[in-house]
Structure 1
Amino acid sequence: MLPRRHSFQPYQTNLSRRLHGVSLVLFLLTHLFVIQSAVATNPFTCYANDFVSPDHAVGLYASKFRGAQDTIVAWANEMNSYGPWSVTDKPVVAPSGNKHDYMSWAPYQWPDCSKAGNKTALSPSIMWKTCPYVFRDGQVNPDRTTIDDFQSFFNLSDAILYNSLAFTFQNQSSSVYSQNAVKYIKTWFLDPDTSMNPNLNYAQMNRGPKGQTGEYTGILDLRGFVKIASGILILRQHGSSDWTSDIDSQMIAWCKKYIDWLQTAPTAKQAASAKNNHGTFYVNQLMALKLIVNDTAGAAEFGRGYFGGTFKGQMKSNGDQPMEASRSRPYHYRNFNIAGMITNARLLKYADPTSNDWNTTSNGATIQTAVDFLMATNPSATNEANVTAEIYPNVAAVAATYGDPQGKYVKFLKASGFPYTDDASFLWDQPLAGGIPSPDSTKGSSSSSSLTIPANGTGPWLLSVVLFMLVWRTR
């Protein structure tokens, strides 16, 4: 874990001989938030998407951000127990016969073998080619995970992001975290034995006698390229000796080939013209790739194109999103598209610091309006209580960008019970906590903040300890 300015055990060891009765109680109460911060990390979360500017990775932060940093390191360590990943690991090869081709199955497609004419049970491999497949919106076919390139890529993108961030916390030119991030990139993209071909010809592939080809919806599978771009930009900007010029050149060459496919393949063009979340995330991906190949102007151009085009028709004046609201899981899809909007705004702000597309309107509504609408929406009304947490990163991002003068966003997050100050995204949603702090890897002085960091459930436990110590000292 990260080195800490405040460590409860050393304080307790050094002072317990001198502190008695009420003095010990006051000492423990004073350090309540320190103790809580020292032990809390959030369960792993795979965000729908997010862009982390390399400017947010500048070493150790003030103590209020240590919970987020600990979570990032914990998540990096967790991902490192699974990687590296490769498209060549899947048990079924794409119809091309090339094990380096990415492949996934359309998630909402289900087999209908009622007219297959078989008298015995069909084996999976026969069923995939013989039975027609029908679409059931929002109902994921569980056998999709048989081919797990999509899940492997999600894991890959998260591992690269969190290892790259963890690397910067150590203030070294090389660490196990930067080495891991580079290893994962080389394995998936560059190693001749394990690399992915730069296309998505078989992404979200339809099965059955009329299938066996990818769909435009499959472009969504690689939306995690934004996180990979964040990781690469962090490694570059912070001088990782593990990210060599040769590796950088190879990755740029791979991405240029994939950009060409993404702008010319029929399925990719269909995704580019989509008016719903598929169009939003297509721009996410293309902007991120442009940043990797050092085409900042190109990234900005696509971002401006989105906010001047597709975005304009995605919302009503009240912030609702008709195309996402019509889906079988409207709460999820609204949140999903908002995450894509936020990511596009962040990417564009990085590519063009003069941009202000957070305030661009769609029928009078901004991204903030969309989040406000969803905050007033009950997910249980559409049987989606299980995805309530999807809104929290969006709320935090809006509070960080637009401000929270009335405290409604912080109130919403606190009321949810979500320990947002220990969430990884708290590190790059820093204005939510009162502004971007200066690094404090030595002195560790906290920057001022108008936000009171909640105890996140540690208070009752610590109070019990305090009362026990008081009774023990005064008996």
Structure 2
Amino acid sequence: MRKTNSPTMIPPPISPSSIFPSSISTSTIDRRRFCKAITITALSSGGVLRGLAAGPTKSDAYRLVAETDRERILKAGALYLTEKPVTITSFRSDRSPGSVHDFFSQADYFWPNPKDPNGPYINRDGQSNPDNFNEHRKAMIALSIQMPALTSAWLLTGERRYGESACNHLRAWFISPVTRMNPNLEFSQGVHGVSTGRSYGIIDTLHLVEVARAASLVAARFLRKEEMTALMSWFRDYLQWMKTSDKGQKERDALNNHAMCWALQAAEFARLIGDGETRSQVHRQYTDTLLPDQLGADGSFPKELARTKPYSYSIFNFDVMASLCQSLKGVGQDLPTFKLSDGRGLCKAAEFLYPYLKDKSTWPYPKDVEHFDSLPVRSPGLLFAGLACEKAEYVSLWKTEDPDPIDREIIRNYPVRQPLLWV
């Protein structure tokens, strides 16, 4: 564990080309020759790549991301040191059936019916209603941006001020009786005249995934014992609600990206609280259900391609899938490299999407009805798949993409912003 009273030393720079030498084509040589070539390269570079015969080590991946994101992280960390935590209790909506501590949001794609303006809302898939109440979402997204950035700054520098500030957000959201959020989503993505809350709303707490990841690194260093107990209790209660409530079980069994998002949340929340049983269950869910049911033979996500925003949803589901595989590393078979008997897996999904992330003009499917021009942005899936699948070109493209989108719709579907916390 890094000390918090002195700067953390970052090892010498490491690049995708040094992890994956350009003279080596892993698609055209067998495993033995690849390992031999890696060993020779490692020896000739002073041992920097020692151990890379089976893929990049954790320290190598950390160094790569640290080098890429150091300036960005420290700039964000300095900015967010001045931001006080703001939770949902600061925003009350008269549309919410819950209390001031209950998260509330409205379904994005539902609008007033022109034929019955005062009646139940109707669906317009892919078109977000700007009149919805979104303040709770905005507050949670701000948490998901600020707290992990502060944690990353603490990891890079060891400076206590960043860790303390990160944990102030944890105190406000999950510990303080005055400002904490209740650990459920009973009133998320409701539809006027139809429902006060729906299972689909559980996707809103996808923005707590990286918060939980950051908390697993920083919380024990700066929270008191009783605060740690309260934090773990919150995530334990919320995970239990996700697993046992009608809304939670329906979301778990969804047929598209919603189930993938449920799984990523369950995996990370369980990781934080040390729930190995749930993590094993999610691992089986991925190998037995999510992967075979959602990924096509060509590596596409057919259910996402059928949407009115096929490009956005394909990228989104790929990023969540890759993050889920990264989250479950160490549980059972290694999911980043796992594939079904027909070859479907993370590497296949990356192979399909990579050309369209590199050059959007080649996208052969319909354009998204909204926000198409705001994509692509930096895809964490490219990084995770690049490292796992030994594809330097994926990592190189990841480094060039925009890591901090400003389009609100894109931000809403962008749960992993600090890959330093994941490698």
TM over 0.5: yes
Match of 1:298 in 2: 278
Match of 1:337 in 2: 317
Alignment partner of 2:125 out of 126, 137, 140 = 137
Q: Give, as a single letter, the amino acid of the residue that structure 2 aligns with 1:138.
A: G
Alignment partner of 1:196 out of 175, 181, 185 = 181
Deviation at 1:371, TM superposition (A): 1.8
1:346-368 CA distance string (max 9 Å, x none): 11104x27634532238532212
Question: What percent identity do the matched residue pairs reach?
Answer: 23
- Alpha-carbon contact 1:109-1:134 (below 8 Å) kept: yes
Match of 2:139 in 1: 152
- Alpha-carbon contact 1:335-1:390 (below 8 Å) kept: no
- TM-score (ref. length: structure 1): 0.67
Give, in whole Å, the separation in 2 of the partners of 1:282 and 1:412.
Answer: 28
Match of 2:367 in 1: 383
Deviation at 1:379, TM superposition (A): 4.0
- Alpha-carbon contact 1:164-1:177 (below 8 Å) kept: yes
Whether 2:197 is the aligned partner of 1:214: answer yes
1:410-457 CA distance string (max 9 Å, x none): 56557xx5378xx97574687xxxxxxxxxxxxxxxxxxxxxxxxxxx
- TM-score (ref. length: structure 2): 0.74
Q: Give, as a single letter, the amino acid of the residue that structure 2 aligns with 1:231.
A: A
Alignment partner of 1:359 out of 314, 333, 338 = 338
Map 1:274-293 → 2, pairs under 5 A: 274-293=254-273
Deviation at 1:264, TM superposition (A): 1.8
- Alpha-carbon contact 1:206-1:214 (below 8 Å) kept: yes
Give, in whole Å, the separation in 1 of the partners of 2:111 and 2:88.
Answer: 24
Match of 1:371 in 2: 350
Map 1:435-474 → 2, pairs under 5 A: none
Match of 2:162 in 1: 177
1:296-320 CA distance string (max 9 Å, x none): 3432332232222222111111111
Give, in whole Å, the separation in 2 of the partners of 1:167 and 1:418.
Answer: 24
Unaligned runs of at least 5 residues, structure 2: 1-6, 11-57, 404-415
- Alpha-carbon contact 1:396-1:429 (below 8 Å) kept: no
- Alpha-carbon contact 1:101-1:202 (below 8 Å) kept: yes
Match of 1:314 in 2: 294
Deviation at 1:64, TM superposition (A): 8.5
Give, in whole Å, the separation in 1 of the partners of 2:389 and 2:95.
Answer: 46
Q: Please give the secondary structure, in 2, of the residue aligned with 1:327.
A: coil
Q: Please give the secondary structure, in 2, of the residue aligned with 1:349.
A: coil
Give, in whole Å, the separation in 2 of the partners of 1:56 and 1:71.
Answer: 20
Deviation at 1:389, TM superposition (A): 2.1
Q: Comparing 305-314 with 183-192, which one deviates more in the overlay?
A: 305-314
Q: Aligned-pair RMSD on alpha carbons?
A: 3.1
Give, in whole Å, the separation in 2 of the partners of 1:323 and 1:257.
Answer: 32
1:247-292 CA distance string (max 9 Å, x none): 1100111122212211122111110001210000101111111122
Deviation at 1:383, TM superposition (A): 3.2
Distance 1:132 1:363, change over 3 A: farther
Q: Give, as a single letter, the amino acid of the residue that structure 2 aligns with 1:156.
A: L
Deviation at 1:159, TM superposition (A): 1.8
Q: Please give the secondary structure, in 2, of the residue aligned with 1:207.
A: coil
User: How many residues get paired?
Assistant: 351
Higher relative contact order (CA 8 A, sep 6+): 1
Deviation at 1:203, TM superposition (A): 0.6
Q: Please give the secondary structure, in 2, of the residue aligned with 1:224.
A: helix
Distance 1:246 1:294, change over 3 A: same
Q: Comparing 288-297 with 323-332, which one deviates more in the overlay?
A: 288-297
Whether 2:206 is the aligned partner of 1:223: answer yes
Deviation at 1:193, TM superposition (A): 1.2
- Alpha-carbon contact 1:68-1:424 (below 8 Å) kept: no
Q: Comparing 333-342 with 71-80, which one deviates more in the overlay?
A: 71-80
Alignment partner of 2:154 out of 130, 148, 167 = 167
Give, in whole Å, the separation in 1 of the partners of 2:271 and 2:65.
Answer: 31
Give, in whole Å, the separation in 1 of the partners of 2:64 and 2:309.
Answer: 39
Q: Give, as a single letter, the amino acid of the residue that structure 2 aligns with 1:219.
A: I
Give, in whole Å, the separation in 2 of the partners of 1:110 and 1:79.
Answer: 35
Match of 2:386 in 1: 399
Distance 1:105 1:375, change over 3 A: same
1:189-233 CA distance string (max 9 Å, x none): 11111111111011111113x33x111110000012221121111
Unaligned runs of at least 5 residues, structure 1: 6-54, 117-129, 431-475
